[in-house]
Structure 1
Amino acid sequence: MPNEKPGEINTLLNIMAQLRDPETGCPWDVRQTMQSLTRYTIEEAYEVADAITQQRPDEICDELGDLLFQIVFYAQIAEEQGTFTFTSIVEAVCAKLVRRHPHVFAGKSIAESELNTQWEQIKQDEKASRQQSDTSLLDDVPRGLPALMYAQKIQKRCASVGFDWEEPQAVLDKVKEEVTEISDELCAEKVNQVALEEEIGDAFFALVNLSRHCNVDADSALRKASNKFVGRFKKVEQAALSQNKDLAGMTMTELENLWQQAKKSPVK
């Protein structure tokens, strides 16, 4: 490809086409389908998120490239099947962005507080214009989303038609109610595992709702909490090692003391 520059999108498209060539391409790439690629796409998206969390620009750039390659991969397969092309993807998203931002591209004046309502209304208009057979507001919410994102998505969709709590405090009360129901189930003479799972699920759902009402992304909040735990647990491991002790052989009191010490020092 002597006439192409590495930074041009056509270079990447041509590389992808060569990888998929039935005669001279890579056997692994040729064998892939849209279905087989989905798990890799999800992994790449999470790797982008992790690189951003770690604030590592070089890794962010690298991971975004991997994610872009996934999109190009799907486009190549679709072009082979005669359904759409990479150009079709670009044209569609450009048209969508212009359509969904009339306050930017059509000179429509709107208050910032009304932007989300406008966005959801335009999406519903688009759905109606496609004349889909869906009968529910929630039918087109992807069920394959990670659980926290799925919960937040369907809650947001219902809120767009007014099916929502008015104040965060009311949602917090619901969280407390769900936690109480978990406690009641655990205190039963015989714990019903199916019912316990349902109650815990309800509590998760209520917490996601609370997160949304507090303008907190549930997935991001949980990820940060998990990373904080990892940092503190590593400090516990280091402290035990400095005392020539094995975590598995320490008492709960000793472990709790190390944990409290870890909490006092900042997590990087």
Structure 2
Amino acid sequence: MIEYTYKQAEDLQAALQQLFEIVTMLRSPEGCPWDREQTTKTVATSLMDETYEYLDAINANDTQGASEEIGDVMLNVMLLLEIHKEHNDFDIVGSINGVCEKLVRRHPHVFSTEHAENSTQVLDLWNKIKVEVEGKKASTDDFFSRVPKSLPPLEMANEIQKKIQKVGFDWPGIQGVVDKVKEELQEVVEANSSLDRCQADVELEIGDLLFSVVNLARYLHISPSVALHRSNRKVQKRFNEVARLCKAREITLSGENLAQMDGIWDEVKKTEKL
């Protein structure tokens, strides 16, 4: 047992320090078995989950929920710092110092004499410093070497397209992007209806369609991951209401009652709009 009395912190520095101290105690030999078992990989996965829960709260305009979820995000960040400290991977204070130094270095329009009138000029400065000052250049034989290989496919597609766009290889207008989505959809239909239909070919065409939709999202300055996350939540909420109404009306959820379920789906959609 660890003797500890929680005291409410009065400022940010004290609050962060207390959270880190609690995490350290939980990871100690006298602490929690579950917390001691966590690794950087498991905590990083949890960090992503908590970030999406924070995003849910933001989308729902739930400020109380956002407050709780961002605390969970900080918890996982502190866990990662503690695990790296335990393993002597690097100096965690040095890591935080490094990002502070980098922020100052990459904002010469704020902390020095450079000028940036808009976000486009800011990004140009940012990327110039990354390449010319920090030496973060792509490999000579792999243009995408700076794109993290562990990204999920949707985020990977988005990053690939952003890299290509930075060197000017992009559609001159949105209509070209829309036409490309339509073209890829037609190729999916053709591959699926072909007399010598090949599942691998259909799979590849579906991939091309998804890639083109991600490109459309990028062109519209929309995160495809966030957009899909919101759609997933919307469908879950809507179908839960369909299931509730079906139960109330004694309609079994099955293909035999598809017409009735479809009608209730439309009913729920109209209610949402109202």
CA distance in 1, matches of 2:56, 2:140: 35
Segments of structure 2 that go 5 or more residues without pairing to the other structure are none
Show the 5 A alignment for 1:93-104: 93-104=99-110
Segments of structure 1 that go 5 or more residues without pairing to the other structure are none
1:57 is the counterpart of 2:63: yes
Letter of the 2:41 counterpart: Q
CA distance in 2, matches of 1:228, 1:188: 34
Which of 103, 118, 131 aligns to 2:125? It is: 118
CA distance in 2, matches of 1:166, 1:46: 33
Which of 61, 78, 82 aligns to 2:88? It is: 82
Post-superposition shift, 1:255? 2.7
Deviation string 1:181-202 (CA, Å, 9 cap, x unpaired) is: 1000111124311111111111
CA distance in 2, matches of 1:93, 1:253: 57
Q: Do 2:138 and 2:146's aligned partners in 1 also have CA atoms closer than 8 Å?
A: no
Deviation string 1:120-178 (CA, Å, 9 cap, x unpaired) is: 3333335526x886743422322322322221122112211222222211111111111
Q: Do 1:5 and 1:11's aligned partners in 2 also have CA atoms closer than 8 Å?
A: no
Aligned to 1:46: 52
CA distance in 2, matches of 1:165, 1:68: 39
TM-score by length of 2: 0.85
Aligned to 1:128: 135
1:227 is the counterpart of 2:233: yes
Aligned to 1:245: 251
Letter of the 1:159 counterpart: Q
Secondary structure at the residue paired with 2:272? Answer: coil
CA distance in 2, matches of 1:79, 1:51: 32
CA distance in 2, matches of 1:46, 1:227: 11
Secondary structure at the residue paired with 1:94? Answer: helix
CA distance in 2, matches of 1:5, 1:241: 47
Letter of the 2:135 counterpart: A
CA distance in 2, matches of 1:241, 1:193: 38
Structure 1 residues 61 and 98: alpha-carbon distance in aligned structure 2, compared to 1, 3 A threshold: same
Aligned to 1:8: 15
CA distance in 2, matches of 1:3, 1:249: 55
Secondary structure at the residue paired with 2:170? Answer: coil
Secondary structure at the residue paired with 1:166? Answer: coil
- Aligned length, in residue pairs: 266
Structure 1 residues 77 and 114: alpha-carbon distance in aligned structure 2, compared to 1, 3 A threshold: same
Structure 1 residues 101 and 72: alpha-carbon distance in aligned structure 2, compared to 1, 3 A threshold: same
TM-score by length of 1: 0.87
Q: Do 1:51 and 1:59's aligned partners in 2 also have CA atoms closer than 8 Å?
A: yes
Show the 5 A alignment for 1:140-179: 140-179=146-185
1:194 is the counterpart of 2:196: no
Show the 5 A alignment for 1:200-211: 200-211=206-217
CA distance in 1, matches of 2:261, 2:37: 51
Which of 257, 262, 267 aligns to 2:263? It is: 257
Q: CA RMSD in A?
A: 2.6
CA distance in 2, matches of 1:247, 1:159: 46
CA distance in 2, matches of 1:39, 1:230: 23
Bigger drift between 174-183 and 163-172 goes to: 163-172
Post-superposition shift, 1:205? 0.6
Identity of aligned residues (%): 32
Q: Do 1:134 and 1:140's aligned partners in 2 also have CA atoms closer than 8 Å?
A: no
CA distance in 2, matches of 1:241, 1:108: 64
Secondary structure at the residue paired with 2:171? Answer: coil
